[in-house]
Amino acid sequence: MLDFISPDPVALHARLRPEALAAVDLATGRRWRYRDLDRDVQRAVAVLTRDGVTRGDRVAALARNSVHQVVLQQALMRIGAIFVPLNWRLSLPELARLLLDCTPRLLVADQTLPELPPGCRAMPMAAFTAAVDAADPAPPCLPHSGMDCCIILYTSGTSGTPKGAMLTPQFLLATAVNFNVLGEVDTGAVFLCDSPMFHVIGIVTQIWPPLLRGGRILVSPGFDALRTNDWLGDASLGITHYFCVPQMAEALRDAPNFAPQGWTSLKALFTGGAPNPPAHIRWWLDHDVRMVDGYGMTETGTTLGMPLNPDLIREKAGSVGLAGPLTAVRLVDEEDRDVPDGTPGEILIFGLNVIPDYWGRPEERGRAFTADGWIRTGDIGIRDPDGFISIADRKKDMFISGGENVYPVEVEAALVEHPAVREVAVIGIPDERWGEVGCAFIVATAGSAPDHDDLTAHCQRLIARYKVPKLFRIVDKLPRTGSGKVMKHLLKQAL
């Protein structure tokens, strides 16, 4: 007897709401009703099984976003096989290493191919799409356990070493439920999906919540600020939810066609994946857009989220909110003892939305999880008396200056309040007197030339003196992962 059956929202809504519009591929204009989408998923099952894909096999994708990538993922889950979306921004040697790690039977691609491991063959995405269109639907699949791995997502590797997080159907369902409750998703929801599908936001958070509710996904091949602004303002599309990393939101406001007054159907602009300074959140509220920040990881999906109440968003700007209904969160000290409100502590997470393990790395579980199953996030959080949690920083990014803990996110939030600072990343560097001091890498706003003394004085008005960086470096851009996180290890290497 299976403990938990793998969820299949497409098959469900193909019967509940067969004529409802389920998906639109914005690049081609092709549209799928739920009945059509369910049929194409089952056609893809026929194509894949004919190609020898069976339960437990891995099938990788190296491709831009498309509805057919969603079809591929859903079909593999019906088979009981494992979908592995790869980051097409990586170099060919990096991709080859990931393929060697997951050893797929098949690679579906629309990008330049890396070296393939033994036993793997490539199929162009166009050929997969054509084969699906030509196939007859396979017979219905037997249900599989919701506890088995169905997606391998490689972490963004801010430390330089990606790991394959093993996502289960239970994880997908729990993330969808958490986001649906926190994000007020209903059957009329329309999600614009342009975050890359090799990221948890792209393949899970922007896809599963609307499909679970019988809503609609509008799939774009990728983010483009001009194009996304046009779509958000297109009343005929009726976009209600848009999820992006903070850097994408900043690109929207910098684009010449930015006109948020036309986003009449949008409930909120959701952000995650990287710190979002309170000053930015308040700026969006002043332009009548609810910017709703949240928190999650590749290993936990949607975990925390702010409510959509604009007064609370403004009052709690900088917070990532409350835990979703299927998640528990603790903040603990170095001895794993719970800390009181207002005290920084590492965030531990437990719930149905937590991965069971890492692909091929059993030793990682002992490092990543407590003995009783809570995952260690490596992030430092602070909980206020109302239960709202703010992210202080990554545990490994914290540094100690003169015996005091300094959390770079707090320093970055202060610096970004300066009108000459567009983006900033702070790291700790060795110092003979203080042990460590802060070094701020700053991307200046257009036409600005930030001055060291002015930046220092600005920081001293907002934060304690020991937190103020001793060095400021002006750079053209910050090195980021595909999910928008700053790769601080590269900044340290540069020094």
258 vs 391, more confident: 258
**Domain end call among 390, 417, 447:** 390
pLDDT surpassing 90 at residue 29: yes
% pLDDT > 70, the chain = 98
Domain with 252, as residue range(s), is 9-390
Closest CA to 45 of 20, 78, 13, 22: 78
Question: Do 336 and 418 lie in a common domain?
Answer: no
pLDDT surpassing 90 at residue 269: yes
Q: Residue 375: inside a domain, yes or no? A: yes
pLDDT surpassing 70 at residue 127: yes
pLDDT surpassing 80 at residue 240: yes
Domain CATH code at residue 427 = 3.30.300.30
Question: Do 370 and 420 lie in a common domain?
Answer: no
pTM of the entire predicted model: 0.85
Question: Do 193 and 157 lie in a common domain?
Answer: yes
pLDDT of residue 161: 66
pLDDT digits (tens, 9 = 90+) for 355-414: 999 999 988 888 899 999 999 998 999 999 999 999 887 777 878 787 777 888 889 989
Reported as a pLDDT band with limits 50, 70 and 90, residue 434 is confident
pLDDT surpassing 60 at residue 158: no
Beta bridge partners of 32: 23
Q: Rounded distance, CA 299 to CA 376, Å?
A: 10
pLDDT surpassing 60 at residue 160: no
Question: Do 440 and 377 lie in a common domain?
Answer: no
Residue the block writes with tokens 């706003």? 445
Question: Do 167 and 262 lie in a common domain?
Answer: yes
Q: Residue 169: inside a domain, yes or no? A: yes
Reported as a pLDDT band with limits 50, 70 and 90, residue 1 is very low
pLDDT of residue 51: 96
Q: Residue 92: inside a domain, yes or no? A: yes
Reported as a pLDDT band with limits 50, 70 and 90, residue 143 is confident
Asked whether the CA dihedral 37, 38, 40, 41 is positive or negative, the reply is positive
Specify the 3-state DSSP secondary structure of 364: helix
pLDDT surpassing 70 at residue 273: yes
How many residues make up the chain in this entry?
Answer: 495
- Mean pLDDT, the chain, rounded, equals 93
**Domain end call among 334, 355, 390:** 390
Question: Do 178 and 325 lie in a common domain?
Answer: yes
**Domain end call among 390, 425, 459:** 390
Question: Do 360 and 410 lie in a common domain?
Answer: no
Q: Residue 1: inside a domain, yes or no? A: no
Q: Residue 335: inside a domain, yes or no? A: yes
Q: Residue 2: inside a domain, yes or no? A: no
pLDDT of residue 433: 78
Question: Do 176 and 322 lie in a common domain?
Answer: yes
Total count of domains within the chain? 2
Question: Do 39 and 159 lie in a common domain?
Answer: yes
Among 1-15, 38-52, 360-374, 473-487, name the most confident range. Answer: 38-52
The helix (H) or strand (E) run that includes residue 60 is strand 58-62
Sequence-ordered list of residues with C-beta below 8 angstroms from that of 413, at least 6 positions apart, any chain: 275, 277, 278, 279, 318
The type of residue at 364 is E
pLDDT of residue 157: 53
**Half-sphere exposure (CA, 13 Å, Cβ side) for 363?**
0
Q: Residue 128: inside a domain, yes or no? A: yes
DSSP state of 454: H
DSSP state of 116: P
Question: Do 46 and 170 lie in a common domain?
Answer: yes
% pLDDT > 90, the chain = 77
Q: Rounded distance, CA 198 to CA 155, Å?
A: 9
Question: Do 353 and 309 lie in a common domain?
Answer: yes
Q: Rounded distance, CA 281 to CA 335, Å?
A: 34
Q: Rounded distance, CA 372 to CA 355, Å?
A: 14
* DSSP collapsed to 3 states, 468-488: CCCEEEECCCCCECCCCCECH
Q: Using alpha carbons only, give the angle 138, 139, 142 rounded to the nearest 5 degrees.
A: 115
Q: Residue 366: inside a domain, yes or no? A: yes
pLDDT digits (tens, 9 = 90+) for 286-329: 999 999 999 999 999 999 999 999 999 999 999 999 999 999 99
pLDDT surpassing 90 at residue 482: no
Question: Do 334 and 454 lie in a common domain?
Answer: no
Domain CATH code at residue 105 = 3.40.50.12780
